[in-house]
Amino acid sequence: MRAQLARVDAVIVQAVIAGALSFSHLHDLAEAAGQGGWKAWAYPVSVDLLLVAAWRRMREQQRAGQQAGGPRLWFLIALAASLGANIATAGLLDLDDVPASLRVVVAGWPAVAFFGGTLLAHAPRIVESLPVAVIPETDGEPVPVQAVVDAPDRDALPKPVAEPDPDTESPTPSAPVAAPAAPAVTLPPALIDRAQALAEQHRATTGLAADPDDVRARLGLPPSMTASVAAHL
């Protein structure tokens, strides 16, 4: 436990040091480019916030199995701004005579950051799939969990066939009675919405209807629940 806390503390200290240095470099570059006073302090805050927001959105979409090209692009833009400031203040650039092109880039950054932050904030929220049931283990043996199913209709059940009286009638072969289909497992509303969203995404991408078994696999459900997923597509 102490070793784990020591590793966490080391990571936090390293992150604070790196963040402070990057913050200072962005401030110095903005101030050298003509953005004085409080504006020079606002630039590193804007860059770091866009970097964190893009990273969180990218991780959310990756965990949900979706493409994260947009958040990844804004993450790279914010990273390039932070890394560029660190390199520019390393002595390779005369801060007393900043080029006009760099002044234009620094002055235009607020509009770029506002546009990227707006796109990230108004992107559709990701609904993560929920586990259906948690099966604990006892002595290495899984404990069976009874699924919640809809009660079948009494009128839909097959009625018993009366056997013929051997003294009055000769037995005639009767057609085999089909066994009733197993009732579908009820899915939570969150899983139904998620399954329908995956099906719509597949239909918009390929133009074809989604395979219920493929949607079931992407939701992390067992093969026995394919019929339940197909019922809601």
Tell me the two tokens of residue 42: 């606002």
What gap in Å lies between CA 219 and CA 215, rounded to an integer? 6
Average pLDDT, stretch 82-86?
Answer: 88
Q: Whose CA is closest to 212, among 232, 182, 190? A: 232
Percentage with pLDDT > 90 across the chain: 14
- pLDDT beyond 50 at 10: yes
HSE-up of residue 124 (Cα within 13 Å, Cβ side)? 10
What gap in Å lies between CA 107 and CA 157, rounded to an integer? 75
Exposure string over 46-75, b if 16+ CB within 10 A, otherwise e: bbbebbebbbebbebbeebeeebebbbebb
pLDDT at res. 77: 93
Query: What is the per-residue pLDDT across 146-202, written as a single tens digit (0 to 9) for each?
Result: 444 444 455 555 555 555 555 555 545 555 555 445 455 677 777 778 777 887 887
Lowest-confidence range among 57-61, 96-100, 228-232? 228-232
Query: What is the per-residue pLDDT across 124-145, written as a single tens digit (0 to 9) for each?
Result: 765 544 444 444 455 555 545 4
* All structural domains of the chain with their residue ranges: 2-121, 127-137+184-233
Q: Whose CA is closest to 215, among 206, 225, 205, 207? A: 225
pLDDT at res. 84: 87
pLDDT at res. 32: 86
- pLDDT beyond 90 at 114: yes
pLDDT at res. 192: 79
**DSSP for 132-163, written as a single string:** S----EETTEEPP-PPPBPPPPGGGSPPPPPP
Tell me the two tokens of residue 143: 């404990």
pLDDT at res. 149: 45
Label residue 17 by pLDDT band (50, 70, 90): confident
- The answer to whether the CB of 61 falls within 8 A of the CB of 71 is yes
Per DSSP, 222 falls in state -
- pLDDT beyond 80 at 22: yes
Average pLDDT, stretch 28-47?
Answer: 89
pLDDT at res. 130: 44
**Average of per-residue pLDDT values in the chain:** 75
Query: What is the per-residue pLDDT across 49-78, written as a single tens digit (0 to 9) for each?
Result: 999 999 999 999 888 888 888 999 999 999
Label residue 111 by pLDDT band (50, 70, 90): very high
Q: Say whether pTM exceeds 0.95.
A: no
- pLDDT beyond 90 at 209: no
pLDDT at res. 102: 86
